[in-house]
Chains A and B, each alone.
Chain A
Amino acid sequence: MFRLGLIINPVAGMGGPLGLKGTDGEEILELALKKGAFPRAPSRAAHVLKALSQEKDKICLLTCPGSMGADTASQCSMPFETIPLKINQKTSPEDTRRAAKMIQERSVDLLLFVGGDGTARDIGQAVGEGQLCLGVPAGVKMHSSVFALSPHHAAEIVSGLIKGRRPQPRLAEIMDIDEEAFRADQLRARLFGYLPVPGSRRGLQVLKAGSSASEKAKQQAIAAFFVEEMDPNRLYLIGPGTTTRAILQALGQEGTLLGVDALRDGQITGKDLNEKDCLALLDQAGFEQATIVVTPIGGQGFILGRGNQQLSAEVVRRVSKKQILVVATPDKLQLLRGNPFRLDTGDPELDRQLCGIYRVLTGYRESAYYRTEL
């Protein structure tokens, strides 16, 4: 039997159609309800469960009571067990976190959650990096890369897992933005952490899609190339991300996953730096003596300004454009579907200057030149 956990955030995505840009915070939710919003997460969850109906006998579904799962499951005639969670009619982020913990404790093969970035954040906070998860997109913002492309796609991945296809898990970013700033038309996406999700099986033609060389192996290949080209006298500011972290690991260094670390001559000389620390180090190093190493964060390909705010406009201004080095696995580039990298340093003028072509390390002795636009 395949043990599947399911959490629905019934209020996720309600603001979207009304232009509310998210439903985090109670007043907003009430506003949304007043404006006539209706829950869209349950129908998306139903979509997944219906698509899995053929596999019904092989699934042991564990879900939350009422609108957080049970209602949808019974509507889809999918047998299920309910966790003993008490929820109010109006559900809260705390409910999501408690539910995730309880389901994790009851050990499931996969925790499926239906919601948006806020939901992903709650799940991540509750279960850490030890639980295989997958998001079904139902939110408004969707910067995180923990989501399947669609409910269809999610069902396909789950069905693959049930059939015994167990691709290497991939650590996917949980991104979220400050919703208050967002509603005031300011985007401030942050990287909150990572969740293991089923790795993408390369290729679509399943008979030919063997176990993919793991994302990790590809990151190691990039790291090996970086180390080969590294200039020991140069200061490197290594931005957040699993690909950048692999560089530090290749040098036997323990970096921070969410922070900016400084590297010189193969050694970490500063950890989890804030903007000020970065500025101080760069001033000390001198112009043209430092390189900023970043990786695109989230599904939209931001290389600066989302998820690595430490590397602020002030910081970036202190190096020339040529000294911004991007590292990204080919899979990650392909996820962009041909769209360019993007920037959001908070300084529109600087962003404009930084547009153009960047060198991207993509493998061992392999690179690409890739376009960046606003």
Chain B
Amino acid sequence: MTRKFIHPYIPNSVPEVQQEMLQEIGVKAIDEFYECIPVEQKVQGKLDLPDPLLSEAALKRHVEGILARNQPAGNMISFLGGGCWDHHVPAVCDEIAARSEFLTAYAGEPYEDHGRFQALFEYASMMAELLDVEVVNIPTYDGSQAAATALSMACRITGRPEVLVAASTAPDRLSVIKGYLYPDIKVNLFDYDTDTGLTDLDDLSARLSNQTAAVYFENPAFLGYLETRGRKISALAHERGALSVVWTDPASLGVLSPPSAYGADLTCGEIQPLGIHMFMGGGRAGFIGAPDDERYIKEYPSRLFGIAPTTHREWGFGDVAWERTSFASRETSKEFVGTASALWGITAGVYLALMGPEGMRELGENCIKRTRYALNKMAELPGIKAPVIGTHFFKEFVVNFDGCGKTVAHINAELLSRGIMGGLDLSQNYPGMGQSALYSLTEKRSREDIDCLVNELEKILST
């Protein structure tokens, strides 16, 4: 080093300070601290990294230059969904999620970090209202993790080694579930009707046995339609002593019944729609809801914050049944717990408080009606089939373009050149559906946006 490096992030780089500290410790140089590391384990020379961008201005220019090469869906007319949705994020959510106090805290105690305990307790409480359950955890990594964990909990609660999962489950989520449960828990699939999308109840009944811990399905399904016979599915599961585990979109629950109303024992899902930006799929957190039943509570691997009195009659909080977690007990813990997605839990709490019951109702109404409008308009286009699967929809539906003789890839490329992001291409994952795409409508898609899409599609399809 020719010049002493004093970086703004490293205060004790100042040579005089270092000297003072070394002197107090009684060593001559920092190198002495590393004498414990054998020479052959040491890095020879410098790490192969680019030269630093020392000034903040240079760093800003550099990173923003790279980011400028992105064209975010959020700035365009986007119909992409399929698990990550372009809902509006209220400004207050951004404000709170960016607060230093929340952003940079970690695992403080219920005293100096009282705020995060209360905010997360309130998040869980508001989610419990939305889901109509008594227990909701501090968020998991994402909705897929929540689904996998809920199924794993079901196996421990019932003492059974097998789960039945709807074949209609989102493909990526199914991959996470299978990977997570392997090798101890067997995952079997049950069929659905490729026309109505509804569960094949005969197939489900035939597969249920006294080894089945849980029956899992998603509502709304990945392909956008609604399962109307949830009550029947739950009843079939219960008849054989299995639990009903349902994945749901919390954005739908202002108007749609929570799965607990049709027999779900465990409800799980993703809170990204509740005030969390898409971040290319990097803004995610999962929830698991359960009844007030010790057998369920004891099987949560995640943290649960409970309310407790203080010596001065304030609202205090702490970890409930902490021993469940792998933090507290290596040898008997359920699964594991680590840093997950607490900040997004706080953010989703802010969202639910802003929305209130009426906001959630309006959100649901927006999604359902805009979807219906888009569906009606697109179905009018020649050569297009919509919907491909299902009868009732929340905010997504499948459109087929086989009749137009064009691929989804081509259509989407054309749309993109006109400032529109078309629906998610399903032709790879669902070859049986031909050239189909999943179109998603949030409250952000105005009539104009939809009309624009339809007009442009008309042009593209007619050339």
Contact = CB atoms under 8 A, between A and B. Distances in A.
Say if A and B assemble together: yes
Interface of A: 202-203, 205, 207-213, 217-218, 221, 330, 362-364, 366
B184 to A, nearest CB: 11
Contact of B330 (A203, A209, A211, A330): A330
Nearest to A329: B331
A218 B332 contact: yes
A210 B332 contact: no
A207 B110 contact: yes
A181 B274 CA distance: 74
Given A203-B328, A208-B318, 6 more contacts: A203-B322, A207-B318, A210-B323, A210-B324, A211-B323, A330-B331
Tell me whether chain B's interface is mostly helix, strand or loop, or mixed: loop
Nearest to B117: A207
A207 B332 contact: no
Interface in B284-337: 318-324, 328-332
Nearest to B303: A208
B319 A207 contact: yes
A255 to B, nearest CB: 23
B336 to A, nearest CB: 14
Contact of A208 (B322, B330, B332): B322
B323 A202 contact: yes
Interface in B95-145: 109-110
Nearest to B308: A207
Nearest to B319: A208
Contacts of B322: 203, 208-210
A208 B332 CA distance: 16
Contacts of B321: 210-211
Contacts of A209: 322-323, 328
B320 A210 contact: yes
Given A207-B109, A207-B110, A210-B323, A362 B331 contact: yes
30 contacts: A202-B323, A202-B328, A202-B329, A203-B322, A203-B328, A205-B109, A207-B110, A207-B318, A207-B319, A208-B319, A209-B323, A209-B328, A210-B320, A210-B321, A210-B323, A210-B324, A210-B328, A211-B323, A212-B329, A213-B323, A213-B329, A217-B332, A218-B332, A221-B331, A221-B332, A330-B331, A363-B332, A364-B331, A366-B330, A366-B331
Interface string B325-362: 00011111000000000000000000000000000000
Contacts of B319: 207-208, 210
Interface in B423-446: none
A146 to B, nearest CB: 24
Ranked 9 nearest A-B pairs via Cβ: A363-B331, A207-B318, A210-B322, A213-B332, A208-B322, A210-B323, A210-B321, A208-B319, A330-B331
A363 B332 CA distance: 8
Contacts of A221: 331-332
Contacts of B110: 207
A330 B332 CA distance: 10
A210 B323 CA distance: 6
A249 B322 CA distance: 29
Contacts of B323: 202, 209-213
Contacts of A364: 331
Contacts of B328: 202-203, 208-210
A326 to B, nearest CB: 16
Nearest to A363: B331
Nearest to A330: B331
Nearest to A207: B318
A218 B330 CA distance: 11
A165 to B, nearest CB: 13
Contacts of A203: 322, 328
Contacts of A366: 330-331
A163 to B, nearest CB: 11
Contacts of B332: 213, 217-218, 221, 363
Nearest to A203: B328
A274 B426 CA distance: 75
A213 B68 CA distance: 53
B109 to A, nearest CB: 7
Contacts of A330: 330-331
B115 to A, nearest CB: 16
A205 B110 CA distance: 11
Contacts of B318: 207-208
B159 to A, nearest CB: 14
Nearest to B320: A210
A168 to B, nearest CB: 11
Contacts of B109: 205, 207
B120 to A, nearest CB: 15
Give the interface centre of A207, A209, A217 by most chain B CB atoms within 10 Å. Answer: A207
A370 to B, nearest CB: 15
A208 B325 CA distance: 10
B334 to A, nearest CB: 10
A121 B249 CA distance: 63
Contact of B331 (A207, A208, A211, A218): A218
A336 to B, nearest CB: 16
A209 B331 CA distance: 16
A208 B331 CA distance: 17
Give the interface centre of A203, A213, A330 by most chain B CB atoms within 10 Å. Answer: A213
A250 to B, nearest CB: 16
A366 B318 CA distance: 30
B443 to A, nearest CB: 41
A218 B318 CA distance: 25
A115 to B, nearest CB: 33
Nearest to A206: B318
B266 to A, nearest CB: 22
Nearest to B109: A207
Nearest to B323: A210
A362 B330 CA distance: 11
A228 to B, nearest CB: 15
A80 B318 CA distance: 36
Nearest to B333: A213
Give the interface centre of B318, B321, B324, B329 by most chain A CB atoms within 10 Å. Answer: B329
